[in-house]
């Protein structure tokens, strides 16, 4: 019983920090919602201007544009593909190469990441409404 009493101050401090974190996250969420329309408009405008700049750079074969203290360079970026898309591509290649089904499954597990081996214990806090 004494051991249990000794952990209670730690539990109370954990709860205090958890509640404060939840309040801050809620404030951040409200702040984001407040500015969401403006951020969406800014993104649309940026996307349009980016398209115009990229078309100019492609048309005149410019690697970049310099204006006062700003330099804009064209950078090619790979599109992200989901793990399931990559997994199906890898599976197709392995099948084409006549790799055994067991080996294919091992490769697919490694590609997707085996969730069983990477477990970590965390705390989940539930606060009852009774005071």
Q: What is the sign of the dihedral through the CA atoms of 84, 88, 90 and 91?
A: positive
* Full residue range of the structural domain in which residue 43 is found: 1-75
125 lies in a domain? no
Count of domains for the chain: 2
What phi and psi values does residue 109 have, to the nearest 5 degrees? -65, -40
Cα–Cα distance for residue pair 28/89, rounded to 1 Å: 40
User: What's the whole-number mean pLDDT along residues 94-111?
Assistant: 86
Q: Are residues 8 and 44 in the same domain?
A: yes
User: Band of the pLDDT at 114, cuts 50, 70, 90?
Assistant: low
98 lies in a domain? yes
Token digits for 120? 């970590």
Q: Are residues 6 and 65 in the same domain?
A: yes
Residue-level pLDDT at 13: 96
User: What's the whole-number mean pLDDT along residues 116-126?
Assistant: 66
Residue-level pLDDT at 115: 58
User: Cβ distance 10 to 123 under 8 Å?
Assistant: no
Q: Are residues 19 and 54 in the same domain?
A: yes
Residue-level pLDDT at 119: 67
Q: Are residues 21 and 65 in the same domain?
A: yes
Token digits for 57? 């750079």
- Look at the pTM and tell me if it is higher than 0.85: no
Q: Are residues 85 and 106 in the same domain?
A: yes
For the stretch 26-65, pLDDT in tens is 999 999 999 999 999 999 999 999 999 999 999 999 888 8
Residue-level pLDDT at 79: 78
Residue-level pLDDT at 1: 80
Q: Choose from 53-57, 77-81, 104-108, 117-121 the range with maximum mean pLDDT.
A: 53-57
Q: Are residues 14 and 29 in the same domain?
A: yes
Q: Are residues 36 and 85 in the same domain?
A: no
Q: Are residues 70 and 85 in the same domain?
A: no
Q: Is the pLDDT of residue 102 over 60?
A: yes
């Amino acid at each position: 019983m004494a051991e249990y009493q000794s952990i209670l101050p730690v539990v109370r401090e954990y709860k205090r920090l958890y509640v404060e974190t939840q309040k801050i996250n809620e404030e951040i969420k409200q702040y984001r919602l407040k500015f969401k329309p403006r951020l969406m408009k800014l993104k649309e405008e940026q996307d349009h201007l980016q398209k115009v700049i990229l078309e100019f750079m492609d048309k005149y074969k410019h690697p970049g544009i310099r204006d006062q203290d700003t330099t804009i360079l064209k950078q090619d970026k790979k599109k992200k593909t989901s793990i399931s898309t990559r997994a199906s591509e890898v599976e197709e290649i392995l099948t084409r190469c006549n790799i055994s089904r067991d080996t294919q499954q091992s490769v697919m597990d490694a590609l997707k990441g085996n969730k069983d081996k990477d477990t970590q214990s965390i705390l989940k806090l539930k606060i009852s409404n009774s005071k």
